[in-house]
Structure 1
Amino acid sequence: MTTSQSPAEIMTLLERLTGQKIAALQVLGINSLKTFSPPPEALVGEAVTAVGTLDRSISIDTVSHVVTFDLQRTGRVVPLENAQAYTPVAGVSRPTVRLLMADGSGVDLSEPARTKRITVSIAARSA
């Protein structure tokens, strides 16, 4: 059984995203995206200004948006050094979410079960 990551462990993995530009946000869990406006494509080219964690919830801030990920009980943050857009590969489980950065790095949000419980919400910042 996979152990849960602590908020401190998650924060350490996410801190390297600060200052990086977002290349893509792929939400691969069919029920995971909880907002539709703005769409994930609205994040492309925006720089991450801050990251945060609160228990099993992650926030990634840009100048124009706040993205919130709820890892629920078993979600994990997996750093990717050479990240590419996800494409299905037989025998390899897919992440629920893949965040790709312009420098070629990224993170997967994954969970061991078939039932995908990680959720993603994108909100535009007020002017």
Structure 2
Amino acid sequence: MPELPEVEALRSFLAGELAGHEIVRVLPVAVSVLKTYDPPVTALEGRAVTAVARYGKFLAVDADGLWLVTHLARAGWLRWQDPLPSGAPRPGRGPLALRVAVETGAGFDLTEAGTQKRLAVYVTHAPRALPGIARLGPDPLADDFTEERLGKLLAGEHRQLKGALRDQSLIAGIGNAYSDEILHAARMSPFKPAGRLTGEETARLYAALRGTLADAVERARGLAAARLKAEKKAGMRVHGRAGEACPVCGDTIREVSFADSSLQYCPTCQTGGKVLADRRLSRLLK
């Protein structure tokens, strides 16, 4: 799933490729992709792109005041092509969900793999009015996201840290992969109660959160869209690396599997050497 660093890299990449160019065609291919109908996607045609923005994991293209907003969900991606293939794409064939073309002949496809179709596209005059964006918490890389603010957000939380970090209404942009990476860098168990952090632990989590995301954004800076997935995977220290050696201590990275996801962690670095039970309601084994 694309998270804050990848979406920020896509924003930067698209801003460089699209700024000043006119959108000449928007072609929805998958019926399920469009979540709004007024204004229609055809209203974007003939407008020049003036900016590209990011809201958490949402990517938004500003076409002279009318916005094309997308959330790539778990299996969605953006593929830039120069030139785009000629001819209209066929609905129901492959992962293609929506195609956007500019006057140069270039453009991008939104694609989605798998059978669960959750990729979403909106056309709106006000991105912040969309329910998914309106509910977002603060951006963790914003200048006003301070250690004190993080502490206030977590105070009184009854959830475990892993779940709290992934809650988009609490902090925007962090998903399954980077929550694993942040907790490893902070040397904290994913099941530690979020509302019980000491001042020292809050400071450590804040430094890990900002550092992990900023480093990932910097690694992705300037990369073409096609290279971002590989860069994300290469930069992971624990996520997706169950059975490998922890790069910090050498212990074996472990995994906890849930119904539709999993997390990875290092027992030595994060749980005092204890192994987490691999079940949905996991607790530390005694």
Matches within 5 A, 1:95-106: 95-106=96-107
What is the aligned partner in structure 1 of residue 138 from structure 2? none
What is the aligned partner in structure 2 of residue 111 from structure 1? 112
- Look up the equivalent residue of 1:117 and give its one-letter code: R
Query: 4+ residue stretches of structure 1 with deviation over 3 A?
Result: none
TM (normalized to structure 1)? 0.83
Task: Supply the distance in 2 between the matched residues of 1:122 and 1:24 (Cα, whole angstroms).
Answer: 14
Alpha-carbon distance, 1:110 to partner: 0.8
SS of 1:78's equivalent? strand
Percent identity over paired residues: 25
Q: Contact 2:70–2:121 (CA<8 Å) still a contact in 1?
A: yes
Q: More deviation in 10-19 or 98-107?
A: 10-19
Structure 1 gaps of 5+ residues are none
Task: Supply the distance in 1 between the matched residues of 2:73 and 2:63 (Cα, whole angstroms).
Answer: 23
Task: Supply the distance in 1 between the matched residues of 2:41 and 2:8 (Cα, whole angstroms).
Answer: 26
Q: Which has the higher Rg, Structure 1 or Structure 2?
A: 2
SS of 2:50's equivalent? strand
How many residue pairs align between the two structures?
A: 122
Matches within 5 A, 1:32-51: 32-51=33-52
Task: Supply the distance in 2 between the matched residues of 1:52 and 1:85 (Cα, whole angstroms).
Answer: 29
SS of 1:120's equivalent? strand
What is the aligned partner in structure 1 of residue 19 from structure 2? 18
- How has the CA–CA distance of structure 1 residues 22 and 85 changed in structure 2, closer, same or farther, with 3 Å as cutoff? farther
- Look up the equivalent residue of 1:96 and give its one-letter code: A
| 1:86 is the counterpart of 2:88 | yes
Task: Supply the distance in 2 between the matched residues of 1:58 and 1:14 (Cα, whole angstroms).
Answer: 10
Task: Supply the distance in 1 between the matched residues of 2:96 and 2:115 (Cα, whole angstroms).
Answer: 11
Q: Contact 1:21–1:45 (CA<8 Å) still a contact in 2?
A: yes
Q: Contact 1:59–1:67 (CA<8 Å) still a contact in 2?
A: yes
Q: Contact 2:29–2:90 (CA<8 Å) still a contact in 1?
A: no
Structure 2 gaps of 5+ residues are 127-286
CA root-mean-square deviation: 2.3
Tell me the alpha carbon deviations over residues 75-121 of structure 1, each in whole angstroms, 9 at most, x when there is no partner.
Answer: 1110010114532299x614111111111000011121133211111
- How has the CA–CA distance of structure 1 residues 99 and 85 changed in structure 2, closer, same or farther, with 3 Å as cutoff? farther
